[in-house]
């Protein structure tokens, strides 16, 4: 895909979303913030509905432990970090 094609796609997407979310999306596609990329992806996935992201039940999604607006299951406070022991469930490869 050409640079113009990519820019056109991004501009179209930017215009299609609620204005409130554009700044985060822009930071994400500029490549300046991984946190913004994660947030923008979850917002997009939930059709720009913050509560939907907060209550996302797709625990098998690789982004789930990191999604914005999530509350800690026991304290009810918003998480700043993924819950310990849940973000890194990689298996040791055979022989490794």
Chain CA centroid to CA 84, Å: 19
| 58: contact with ligand SF4 by CB under 6 A | yes
Q: How far is the CB of 88 from ligand SF4 (least distance, A)?
A: 16
Question: CA 46, CA 30: separation in Å to the nearest integer?
Answer: 22
Dig out the tokens for 77 from the structure.
């406070």
| 39: contact with ligand SF4 by CB under 6 A | no
Question: CA 94, CA 82: separation in Å to the nearest integer?
Answer: 27
Piece of the chain touching ligand SF4 by CB under 6 A; list 14-22, 37-45, 77-85, 86-94: 37-45
Measured torsion, CA atoms of residues 9, 10, 16, 20, in degrees rounded to the nearest 10: 180
| 45: contact with ligand SF4 by CB under 6 A | yes
Q: Which of 56, 69, 79, 82 binds ligand SF4 (CB under 6 A)?
A: 56
Which residues are near ligand SF4 by CB under 6 A? 41-42, 45-46, 53, 56, 58, 61, 63-64, 67
């Amino acid at each position: 895909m050409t640079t113009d094609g990519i820019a056109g796609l991004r501009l179209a997407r930017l215009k299609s979303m609620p204005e409130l979310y554009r700044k985060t999306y822009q930071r994400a596609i500029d490549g300046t913030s991984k946190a913004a990329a994660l947030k923008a992806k979850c917002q997009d996935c939930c059709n720009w509905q913050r509560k939907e992201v907060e209550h996302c039940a797709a625990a098998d999604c690789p982004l789930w432990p990191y999604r914005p607006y999530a509350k800690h299951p026991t304290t009810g406070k918003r998480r700043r970090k993924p819950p310990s022991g849940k973000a890194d469930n990689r298996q040791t490869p055979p022989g490794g």
